[in-house]
Amino acid sequence: MIRRLIAFFLLSMLMLPMASAVDSTVSWTQENTPAWDYDFSDGYISTAPLYIDEKILVRTSGSSNPSVTALSVEGTFLWRHSNPNSTNNDMSPLLPVSAGEGACGAWPELVLVGWTDGVLEALHPGNGTVYWSVQTEVVGWGITGAGSVFEGHVFYPTRQGLGMYCMADGSQQWWTETGLGWRNGVTLTDSAAYVGDESGTLWRIDSTGEAYALASFEGKIRHAPLISQAGILVHVQSSMDSTVFVLHNETGLVLQQFTAGPSPALPVIMDDVVVLSDSESIHFLLCRDTCALESQIPFHSNGEIGINRQGNIVIPSNTPNSNWAHIVHQNGSNAVLESLDVGLYGYGTAAPLWFRIGSVNYTVFGDDQSVLKVFQNLPSDEILESNDFDWSTQSFLFATYLLLGSSAVFFLNGRRDLFVRTSSLLLVLVLLLLLPDVTQLWSSEVNEVFEETSEADEWDENWPDTWLGTQIVVFQFAEGEQAIGGLVGHQDVLSLTQSAVDDFDFSMTVEQTSIGAYISSINGIQGEGWEFYVDGSKGVLSADTTAIDSTTIVRWTPV
Amino acid sequence: MFQAMGTHGPVLSPLASLVLDVLLLGSAFWLLAKPSQRPVMDSLILLTLVASVSLLRVVMQPLPNVQPVTVAALLVGAQLGARRGAAFAVLVTMISNFFIGDGWWTLFQAAGWASVAVAGSRLSLVTPSGLNVRRAVFASLAAAVWFDVVVSLSILDGTIGPVGFLVYLLHGLPFDALHMAGNFAFVVWMGSWFTGLLEEEPALDEIEFAVVNSHGIDG
């Protein structure tokens, strides 16, 4: 009897989440069908596409031709505006502005684009021509954060400060110095602007441009602060983890704090629910008088967080060969994750775009593969006819059920030998599925414990100061070293190396093996392969599973 | 404790590779030839096993650190003895690495699996009633860890200290766990069958001798 009860309990516990996952996956794929793709050939889509003036605008960067491209809703190319001087990854999201009139004059419907070479441009969405343009300061990088519009003015976080510009002609009203920032979006209230920086300082800037440090933390603030009922919320990134702070709006006093995982994403707020993410989990906080953690789901995402019309979360996984997540929740609680296979497999930080034409809802996905995937929902009668069948997922589920069921049956029947056999296969299957995530987490833990034993790679005095505090890649060739710095936001060695290779315009051959990505040649030099060192320590895992800090020196040497 | 990407150990010149291959092949044939010549059929069976397990290893390569060779070496050692077990391990390593990737690590893999085969011959895994599955399971789990440690030694090229090596071993623990789980599955599914396959049938002259000897005693 006890044996039967144990078997029943185990089966129930194991099958519940699977049943939930199956049902929810079917619901999204039945409701949405692929409409068209658009391949931009190179570069990354790092920010959410924008729907404006009946066009889909997509920002691509990290290539030789950083651009904003307009496509029709049918996927036809319309226009492209490029800025070849913006050589780093453009992380500042496109900002739509409705036509209006203010103290400086009138302006048409516009799209504002901040570039990493410090240029801020207002484009006509109809044809991509420049309406006005201003140059902001550049210290290695220029603009990387999100701007915000308020009463005829646009506020943009620049590399070292915050500027207020007239919407009608782009004229600078004031600019105030804060701290060196990256992905440092600005948040506006009726009385002040808030922006964070790379030294962990949260700045409050009043309407005249007067700035003062509201609070200071150990780490980096790489998002626009959130204004909740419970206070100002910032997610501060440290080297190995992060902390969410809730602060008093006026005094900056820390009211609450929560520990979270490494490399935070850009948090979002909807009513009183705050959604945060990092390399380990997605967190839902309910912030009323105080903030309380409502749900937490394991997931790896470090960029934008999308909220669809139903208030559900759609978020890209920033890992190789990964899917997206669709998370349904009730005011932050009872969050259930559904994996979305949208046909994009790889790193991604851009939230999706949603728009509606007539009765058809469109969802647009883009990621680091520089491919845009557009889905549209099907009318209800067509949903019934949809017979898409994901053989790989279903096969896996079938095998799991079969092994699980067989194990339980053999256990109940006292067939110990057969129970052991089926359980052993189930164990191998589960371990194989968990291996990528477990390896990465375990590797991070080991690195944390043994961090002090690693020999820090010596900083080269010939390198520019703007590389300080960024990610640097060094390639060791027979004729000498080639180094590039100022790279940011990369979570693993492969992603960082790919970025460096693109900047140098080198070729790189990556072979996928059972234990990860293997670099067999760089810039045509093959030899016996290449090996890497992270901050002086020899790499012991594959490049795509070796996590890196925000300030890292990766050195590649041919074997 | 696995052959990590980007870490290859010393690079071998073509001549060194040839010497290594000759050394491994020579040791395999020496192990097979001593202490006495084996019948042709006996050798053919062993070579068939070598080819089959090599193919299995190549086919299972997409599954990270699931190593059918470890259990095979253990059981061949247990059933056919240390010499033939070690020869089997060396040949499987050479042939499968010809397809998967040859290098300095081949030496350590061959040594690792050969030592597993030797251990298998000493652990009394096979009894008159067949394979002692419980003992074989524990032996295969230990063999997974032992093999992974031996193979990890290939990264010691003078640039890694004791602490660095320890960190390297710790990084590989999830892969060790998978190796152990794979071994466990192989033993419980195929251990008894594989052992039976290797069971030596007595030769005709041995049967004749036994019968005559028996009659002699009776008489």
Which residue ranges make up each domain of chain A? 392-449, 453-558
Interface of B with A (CB under 8 A): 2-8, 11, 61-66, 103, 159-160, 163-164, 167-168, 170-175, 177-178, 181-182, 184-185, 188-189
Residue A146, pLDDT above cutoff 60:
yes
Query: How does pLDDT run across A339-362, given as a tens digit for each residue?
Result: 888 888 878 899 999 998 888 889
Mutate one of A538, A554, A555, A556 to test the B interface: name it (highest B CB count within 10 A): A538
| CB burial of residue A57 (10 Å; 0-12, 13-18, 19+) | buried
Across chain B, mean pLDDT equals 81
Residue A271, pLDDT above cutoff 80:
yes
Q: What is the pLDDT of residue A389?
A: 56
Which residue of chain B is at minimal alpha-carbon distance from A539? B6
| Predicted confidence band of residue A1 (pLDDT cuts 50, 70, 90) | low
Q: Please give the Cα distance from A545 to B56 (Å, whole number).
A: 27
pTM: 0.53
Largest interatomic CA distance in chain A = 84
DSSP state letters, A444-507: HHHHHHTGGGSPPPPPPTTS-GGGTTSEEEEEEETTEEEEEEEE----BHHHHHHHHHHHHT--
Which residue of chain A is at minimal alpha-carbon distance from B163? A453
Tokens 């919320």, residue located: A233
Residue A452, pLDDT above cutoff 60:
no
Q: What is the pLDDT of residue A103?
A: 86
Distance of CA A38 to the CA centre of its chain: 21
Q: Please give the Cα distance from A140 to A470 (Å, whole number).
A: 10
What percent of chain A is predicted at pLDDT more than 70? 88
Question: Least CB-CB distance to A528: which of B11, B167, B174?
Answer: B11
DSSP state letters, A189-214: -SSEEEEE-TTSEEEEEETTS-EEEE
Looking at per-residue confidence, does A529 or A286 come out higher? Answer: A286
Strand partners, A155: A148, A164
Question: Least CB-CB distance to B184: which of A424, A538, A539?
Answer: A424
What percent of chain A is predicted at pLDDT more than 90? 43
Q: What is the pLDDT of residue A383?
A: 44
Query: How does pLDDT run across B167-203, given as a tens digit for each residue?
Result: 888 988 999 999 999 999 999 999 998 888 887 655 5
Q: Please give the Cα distance from A48 to A367 (Å, whole number).
A: 9
Q: What is the pLDDT of residue A449?
A: 76
Q: Is there a contact between B164 and A439 if contact means CB atoms under 8 Å apart?
A: no
Q: Is there a contact between B5 and A427 if contact means CB atoms under 8 Å apart?
A: no
Q: Is there a contact between B182 and A515 if contact means CB atoms under 8 Å apart?
A: no
Query: Which amino acid is it at A322?
Result: S
Question: Least CB-CB distance to A531: which of B8, B167, B178?
Answer: B8
Question: Least CB-CB distance to B2: which of A450, A515, A538?
Answer: A515
Kindly state whether A525 is in contact with chain B, defined as any CB-CB distance less than 8 angstroms.
no
Strands B130-131, A552-558: pairing is unpaired
Strands A100-102, A95-97: pairing is unpaired
Residues 6+ apart with CB under 8 A from A322: A300, A316, A345, A346, A347, A348
Residue B133, pLDDT above cutoff 50:
yes
Q: Please give the Cα distance from B36 to B48 (Å, whole number).
A: 20
Give the H or E element holding residue A144.
none
Q: What is the pLDDT of residue B121?
A: 92
Residue B113, pLDDT above cutoff 60:
yes
DSSP state letters, B37-48: PPPHHHHHHHHH
Kindly state whether A444 is in contact with chain B, defined as any CB-CB distance less than 8 angstroms.
no
| Predicted confidence band of residue B140 (pLDDT cuts 50, 70, 90) | very high
Q: What is the pLDDT of residue A510?
A: 82
Angle at A442 (CA atoms; ends B110, A322), nearest 5 degrees: 95
Q: What is the pLDDT of residue A416?
A: 87
Q: Please give the Cα distance from A96 to A76 (Å, whole number).
A: 21
Query: How does pLDDT run across A531-541, given as a tens digit for each residue?
Result: 888 887 777 77
Looking at per-residue confidence, does B212 or B27 come out higher? Answer: B27
Return the SS3 of A67. strand
| Predicted confidence band of residue B22 (pLDDT cuts 50, 70, 90) | confident
The CATH classification of domain A453-558, taken from the options 3.40.50.300, 3.90.550.10, 2.170.190.11, 2.170.130.30:
2.170.130.30
Residues 6+ apart with CB under 8 A from B31: B83, B84, B86, B87, B90
| Predicted confidence band of residue A12 (pLDDT cuts 50, 70, 90) | low
Return the SS3 of A248. coil
Q: Is there a contact between B188 and A421 if contact means CB atoms under 8 Å apart?
A: yes
Query: How does pLDDT run across A422-432, given as a tens digit for each residue?
Result: 999 999 988 88
| Predicted confidence band of residue A55 (pLDDT cuts 50, 70, 90) | very high
- CA A519 to chain B, closest CA, distance in angstroms equals 8
Kindly state whether A399 is in contact with chain B, defined as any CB-CB distance less than 8 angstroms.
no
Distance between first and last Cα of chain B: 62
Looking at per-residue confidence, does A470 or A189 come out higher? Answer: A189
Distance of CA A279 to the CA centre of its chain: 10
Residues 6+ apart with CB under 8 A from B174: A435, A438, A439, A442
Residue B74, pLDDT above cutoff 60:
yes
Q: Which two tokens stand for residue A466?
A: 């703007």
Kindly state whether A438 is in contact with chain B, defined as any CB-CB distance less than 8 angstroms.
yes
Q: In sequence order, what E strands does B32-127 have?
A: 126-127
| Predicted confidence band of residue A454 (pLDDT cuts 50, 70, 90) | very low
The three-state DSSP-derived secondary structure of A159-188 is CCEEEEEECCCCCEEEEEECCCCCCCCEEE
Query: Which amino acid is it at B103?
Result: G
Distance between first and last Cα of chain A: 62
**Tell me, what's the ipTM?**
0.79
Q: Are A443 and A491 in contact (CB under 8 A)?
A: no
Q: Are B29 and B46 in contact (CB under 8 A)?
A: no
Question: Least CB-CB distance to A540: which of B7, B62, B63?
Answer: B7
- In this structure, the number of other CB atoms found within 10 A of the CB of residue B47 comes to 13
Q: Is there a contact between A424 and B181 if contact means CB atoms under 8 Å apart?
A: yes
Max mean pLDDT among A411-425, A438-452, B45-59, B110-124 falls in B110-124
- CA A256 to chain B, closest CA, distance in angstroms equals 35
Q: Is there a contact between A539 and B5 if contact means CB atoms under 8 Å apart?
A: yes
Phi-psi domain of A489 (left: phi exceeds 0; alpha: psi -120 through 50; beta: other): left
Q: Is there a contact between B64 and A531 if contact means CB atoms under 8 Å apart?
A: no
Q: What is the pLDDT of residue A413?
A: 85
Q: Are A416 and A424 in contact (CB under 8 A)?
A: no
Strand order in the sheet with A371-377: A32-39, A371-377, A360-366, A353-357
- CA B210 to chain A, closest CA, distance in angstroms equals 37
- In this structure, the number of other CB atoms found within 10 A of the CB of residue A194 comes to 24
Question: Least CB-CB distance to B171: which of A427, A541, A543?
Answer: A541
| Predicted confidence band of residue B3 (pLDDT cuts 50, 70, 90) | very low
| Predicted confidence band of residue B10 (pLDDT cuts 50, 70, 90) | low
Question: Least CB-CB distance to A542: which of B5, B63, B182?
Answer: B5
Residue A25, pLDDT above cutoff 50:
no
Phi, psi of A227 (to 5 degrees): -105, 110
Q: Is there a contact between B164 and A453 if contact means CB atoms under 8 Å apart?
A: yes
Q: What is the pLDDT of residue B215?
A: 56
Which domains, ranges and CATH numbers included, belong to chain B? 14-218 (1.10.1760)
**B75-88 mean pLDDT:** 91
Which residue of chain A is at minimal alpha-carbon distance from B156? A538
- In this structure, the number of other CB atoms found within 10 A of the CB of residue B72 comes to 29
| CB burial of residue A348 (10 Å; 0-12, 13-18, 19+) | buried
Q: Please give the Cα distance from A290 to A82 (Å, whole number).
A: 45
Q: Please give the Cα distance from A80 to A97 (Å, whole number).
A: 19
Kindly state whether A36 is in contact with chain B, defined as any CB-CB distance less than 8 angstroms.
no
Q: Is there a contact between B171 and A543 if contact means CB atoms under 8 Å apart?
A: no
Q: What is the pLDDT of residue A175?
A: 95
CA dihedral sign of residues A508, A509, A513, A518 = negative
